Structure 1
Amino acid sequence: MTRRAQSLQDLGDIRRALHDAAREKALREAQAREKAARDKRERELFAHTVGKVTPIRNAVRVVLDKPRPSPLPIQRERDDAAVLHEAISDEFDVESLLDTDDAMSFRRPDISPEIVRKLRRGAWSIQAQIDLHGLRRDEAREQLSAFLREAQKQGLRCVRVIHGKGNGSPGRQGVLKAKVKSWLVQKNQVLAFTQARGSDGGHGALVVLLRPT
């Protein structure tokens, strides 16, 4: 190829490159104009829809004092629910659940008789006690519930409940003695109980084994 022909070819390449660049530029400018026109139409459409807007000057703002909702007595509701959950009935028939031995002991179905025998022999040391002797029935029931709840909270395992022998009751039959057994059976934290040994109160007290925490 001669130098003249090569020069003409290079000139043609340059022209084509310039033409492509100009066409690309024109395309970008057309896209920009189209976008600007579209944005303008959207602005005008909003203004046409809303109408003329006049800014408010020195507007007076009124701050409303919203009434605060009354506080919910959540803790009191929880306490009431706990009391209901732990409520024990005076009408509960406990006799059918007691072992018919001299001590009229009680144990949960998953507790073996050997546990009761150990409890009777004093295998567990008595860690706390409550004396209900002489109290009215309602007072005794409430104090027993509170005592068991606190004992379990402290992680105690063996406690003594003194109910009295009932010698001063009509017919020498201890009403509180029978009620205490009924109340204990209804408490989930009580695993077993048996009559105390003579040195620990005998017929006037029960030794109670509590569920571990």
Structure 2
Amino acid sequence: MKRKPPTISPEDSELFRDAIGDVRRIEAEPAAPARPGPPPEPRRLRIDEEEALRESRRAPADLALDAADLLSYCRPGLPERVFRQLKRGEYSIQDEIDLHHLRAADAEALLKQFLNAARRGHHPCVRIVHGKGLRSEGAPVLKSLVDRVLRHRGDVLAFASAPLNQGGSGAVLVLLDER
């Protein structure tokens, strides 16, 4: 049962006003706007990158590629039709990076930044030009680096050396997971 507030008579109200005297309204300062929280941190991406770095340091040296070797990888569960279309160059390339003439460390950092930006920009198919490594001593350095980095990333669904008209064994087409 809800109680009814007591009614105040006009005489009591007048007596109260006389007792407290003149009053003035105090304007309150507007509250400061709430400070936005930090942006979300893509933990899975960070974990994948750390795992890829650990794996790359343990990669055996005897897996060196040859200049003519074609790169190819397909994540388990990806339809074979999608992989065949990628290998034939049937997907529209939304972005491209050329790693020619870069040192391996610089190329790796730039490649990771490029892939992250491509994924954020909703570019599911990109081309990476790494060259054939004909001027490298021994195995092609950048080609091997690109192969290793792409195999260890969780957002790479598939990659394949580009068709001849798109760079052949000197470039790779990459299909990224947009999630």
TM-score, structure 1 length as denominator? 0.55
2: CA distance, partners of 1:107 / 1:81 = 20
Q: CA deviation at 1:103?
A: 2.8
Partner of 2:162: 196
Amino acid paired to 1:118: Q
Q: What one-letter code is carried by the residue in structure 2 that aligns with 1:198?
A: L
Deviation of 1:82 after TM superposition, in Å, equals: 6.0
Greater Rg, structure 1 or structure 2?
Answer: 1
Matched to 2:49, the amino acid is E
Aligned partners of 2:48 and 2:154 also within 8 Å: no
**1:52-67, aligned counterparts within 5 Å?**
none
Mind listing any 5+ residue stretches in structure 2 that lack a counterpart? 1-36, 64-68
Would the alpha carbon gap of residues 178 and 155 (structure 1) be closer, same or farther in structure 2, given more than 3 Å must change?
A: same
Go from structure 1 to structure 2 and tell me whether the alpha carbon gap of 1:81 and 1:159 turns closer, same or farther (over 3 Å shift): closer
What percent of counterpart residues are identical?
Answer: 37
In structure 1, C-alpha distance between the alignment counterparts of 2:113 and 2:135, rounded to whole Å:
26
Asked if the contact 1:195/1:205 (under 8 Å) is kept, the reply is yes
1:205 corresponds to which residue?
Answer: 171
Secondary structure of 1:86 counterpart = helix
Task: Give the letter for the 1:189 counterpart.
Answer: D
Task: Pick closer, same or farther for the CA change 1:167–1:127 going to 2, 3 Å.
Answer: same
- 1 CA distance for matches of 2:79 and 2:88? 15
Shift of 1:138: 1.0
* Count of residues in Structure 1 that have an aligned counterpart in Structure 2: 133
Q: Which has the higher contact order (CA 8 A, sep 6+)?
A: 2
Q: How far 1:114 sits from its partner (Å)?
A: 2.5
Residue of 115, 132, 145 corresponding to 1:165: 132
Using the alignment, how far apart are the partners of 1:79 and 1:111 within structure 2? 24
Which is worse superposed, 176-185 or 82-91?
Answer: 82-91
1:126 and 1:92 map into 2 onto residues whose CA distance is: 32
Deviation at 1:198, TM superposition (A): 1.0
1:106 is aligned, of 73, 93, 96, to 73
| Distance of 1:79 and 1:155 partners within structure 2 | 16
User: Could you tell me how far 1:134 is from its partner in structure 2?
Assistant: 1.2
1:112 and 1:79 map into 2 onto residues whose CA distance is 27
Q: Which residue of 1 aligns with 2:49?
A: 86
Contact 1:105–1:116 under 8 Å retained in 2: no
Give the unaligned 5+ runs of structure 1.
Answer: 1-73, 97-101
